[in-house]
Amino acid sequence: MLLYDMRTAMNPRRVRIFLAEKGLQIPIQAVDGSKNENRTAAFLAINPLGKLPVLQLDDGSYISESIAICRYLEALHPQNPLFGEDPKTQAIIEMWTRRLESEMVLPLTSAFRHTGAYWQGKLVQNPALGHWWREQALEAYAWLDQVLADRAFVATDRYSMADIVLQCALIMAKPTGMPIPPDCTHISRWYADVSARPTARA
Amino acid sequence: MLLYDMRTAMNPRRVRIFLAEKGLQIPIQAVDGSKNENRTAAFLAINPLGKLPVLQLDDGSYISESIAICRYLEALHPQNPLFGEDPKTQAIIEMWTRRLESEMVLPLTSAFRHTGAYWQGKLVQNPALGHWWREQALEAYAWLDQVLADRAFVATDRYSMADIVLQCALIMAKPTGMPIPPDCTHISRWYADVSARPTARA
């Protein structure tokens, strides 16, 4: 297998942290988004959407979408499950993963896409949209802080894929100008905990 | 189990079609969004986000997020798999499900949320945002038409969860003013096929 990676981007980081948590190693092919290497004809043949990460399987086929990649790897390597060990736990972890994606990740990434220098020239930026999404992100932070008030991890009593999704969003949030608000003490406590894991810099 | 349903909404319909395809029956509790029944204290205790569908398990706990619910039911009832029968097929179906969600479902639902009469008073509508999302939806239709040019179903050679996700988005798209563009003949062919399934009106 070969993992097409983009070092600083949010979604590839999910896979790298997942691999580190599982103790797995996969050869990595770096793709540099700042040089538009993900928009070349060669890469668009790998993923027509131009997105990272992509996992090349040994039969030559490609899987994109970070969660699909991680779930595939979990099926091959079920030890230390990050998607849950039974159907109910799996459902709770996916519920929280998807809640985080729609409520928190989407506003953060959308605000960045419409205001960030990285995205200039890569898409039609609309600052008014960026502002609207930023407001949504602030509301989401307030919601999330309450969610984390009485729990150590997002979905269950163990670190899971839902934590990875949130962790990677918040790693991106700081340099893109939407860091955890100072009054969100529960998020900050959770973030300090997951950032202290040996896998956090994968 | 008990399924909290909202008859006309997109996400609950995914679960109803999934159940019909699997030949499963679950008692249904209807929640009327037009009467804000999903914003009552009683319902927010079931799902704090006020969203449908929600599956109540026999132990009294709740699972929300349509895909999490369907995947849970698939784990309990693996016959006639709609998420795929092996890890690679499962990954391809999830890849396509997520591609459709980000590229097609998000623009369609976002345009509706910012322009639709149903959402007036339920959120802060921004017509400029609705217009921007509508443009994204039109681009997504063009992309999707090419995707479907050479295949019978979205993800594999069989009807899958990815088809259900697209089908439910397009059922919603017509009455909300963003029907399949006339030149998207491959989407129209696919949509006619899936609409002819006995489960399409579940």
User: Mind telling me how many Å the CA of B92 is from chain A's nearest CA?
Assistant: 6
- Residue A99 is predicted with a pLDDT of 98
pLDDT over 90 at B78, yes or no: yes
User: Mind telling me how many Å the CA of A74 is from chain B's nearest CA?
Assistant: 9
- Residue B174 is predicted with a pLDDT of 87
B90:A76 CB<8 A: no
pLDDT over 80 at B122, yes or no: no
Distance CA A118, CA A76 (A): 36
Evaluate whether B71 touches B17 at the Cβ level (below 8 Å).
Answer: no
Least confident of A76-85, A127-136, A190-199: A127-136
Chain A partners of B49 at a C-beta cutoff of 8 Å?
A: 99, 103
- Residue B32 is predicted with a pLDDT of 96
- Coil vs helix vs strand at B139: helix
B87:A72 CB<8 A: yes
**ipTM of this complex:** 0.95
Distance CA B99, CA B118 (A): 27
pLDDT over 90 at B113, yes or no: no
User: What domains are defined for chain A?
Assistant: 2-76 (3.40.30.10), 87-195 (1.20.1050.10)
Q: Which of B67, B90, B128 is facing A94, going by the closest CB pair? A: B67
pLDDT over 80 at A190, yes or no: yes
Give tens-digit pLDDT for A67-103. 999 999 999 999 999 999 999 999 999 999 999 999 9
Least confident of B12-21, B49-58, B131-140: B131-140
Residue B200 CA: distances (Å) to CA of A87, B14, B167: 27, 10, 9
Average pLDDT over residues A99-116: 92
- Residue A176 is predicted with a pLDDT of 84
Average pLDDT, chain A: 95
Q: Please, which residues have CB within 8 angstroms of residue A16's CB and are 6 or more apart in sequence?
A: A5, A202
Query: How does residue A114 score in pLDDT terms, banded at 50, 70 and 90?
Result: confident
pLDDT over 80 at A3, yes or no: yes
Least confident of A2-16, A39-53, B105-119: B105-119
Average pLDDT over residues A52-67: 98
Q: Which of B68, B91, B103 is facing A91, going by the closest CB pair? A: B68
Average pLDDT, chain B: 95
Chain B partners of A132 at a C-beta cutoff of 8 Å?
A: 126, 129
* B46 CB within 8 Å of a chain A CB: no
Chain A partners of B95 at a C-beta cutoff of 8 Å?
A: 63-65, 68
Burial A100-135 (b: 16+ CB within 10 A, else e): bbebbbbbbbbbbbbbbeeeeeeeeebeebbebbbe
Query: How does residue B121 score in pLDDT terms, banded at 50, 70 and 90?
Result: confident
A91:B72 CB<8 A: yes
pLDDT over 90 at A124, yes or no: no
- Residue A117 is predicted with a pLDDT of 80
- Residue A22 is predicted with a pLDDT of 98
* A169 CB within 8 Å of a chain B CB: no
A91:B103 CB<8 A: no
Chain A partners of B90 at a C-beta cutoff of 8 Å?
A: 71-72, 75
pLDDT over 80 at B77, yes or no: yes
User: Mind telling me how many Å the CA of A88 is from chain B's nearest CA?
Assistant: 7
DSSP string for B56-69: E-TTS-EEESHHHH
* B138 CB within 8 Å of a chain A CB: no
B92:A63 CB<8 A: yes
Average pLDDT over residues A152-169: 98
